[in-house]
């Protein structure tokens, strides 16, 4: 009798941490722009956006969190410095978190100052016959 369990995916992914600089302060303090831009860049990079929430700080700065079917993404801005911390983690192979960071940087008119990618989880085991 065949098993009813069908694996959804591999327990592994890529976690990208990046810092962006040289961004216009007004963009980094615009909550709606950041929500929309993060969601669209993630979608363009192959991720499935489930929800996006944001919090605007006083006197400035915004944190935006995106819940993805593949995991999560976030941006935390420092308008007074023209700087952003970015965190994108995706499981599986469909979404490309590095591409998402590059698209976000382009939308903000900059390039990543630093970007590190960490492999997480356990890779798929080879299937033997």
Which residues form the catalytic set? 71, 76, 91
Tokens of residue 92, six digits: 């599986």
Task: Take residue 6 and report the two structure tokens written for it.
Answer: 């069908």
Q: Give me the half-sphere count of Cα atoms (radius 13 Å) on the Cβ side of residue 48.
A: 7
Taking the C-alpha atoms of residue 35 and residue 65, their distance in angstroms, rounded to an integer, is 8
Question: Whole-angstrom Cα distance, residue 74 to residue 54?
Answer: 9
Q: Give the CA radius of gyration of the chain.
A: 17
């Amino acid at each position: 009798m065949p098993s009813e369990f069908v694996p959804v995916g591999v327990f592994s992914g890529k976690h990208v941490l990046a810092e962006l600089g040289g961004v216009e302060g007004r963009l980094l303090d615009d909550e709606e722009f950041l929500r929309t831009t993060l969601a669209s860049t993630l979608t363009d990079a192959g991720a499935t956006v489930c929800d996006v929430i944001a919090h605007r700080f006083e006197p400035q700065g915004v944190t935006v969190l995106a819940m993805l079917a593949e995991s999560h993404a976030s941006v935390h801005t420092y308008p007074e410095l023209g700087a952003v911390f970015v965190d994108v983690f995706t499981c599986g192979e469909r979404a490309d978190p590095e591409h998402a960071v590059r698209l976000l940087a382009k939308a903000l008119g900059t390039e990543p100052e630093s970007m590190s990618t960490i492999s997480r989880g356990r890779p798929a085991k080879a299937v033997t016959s």
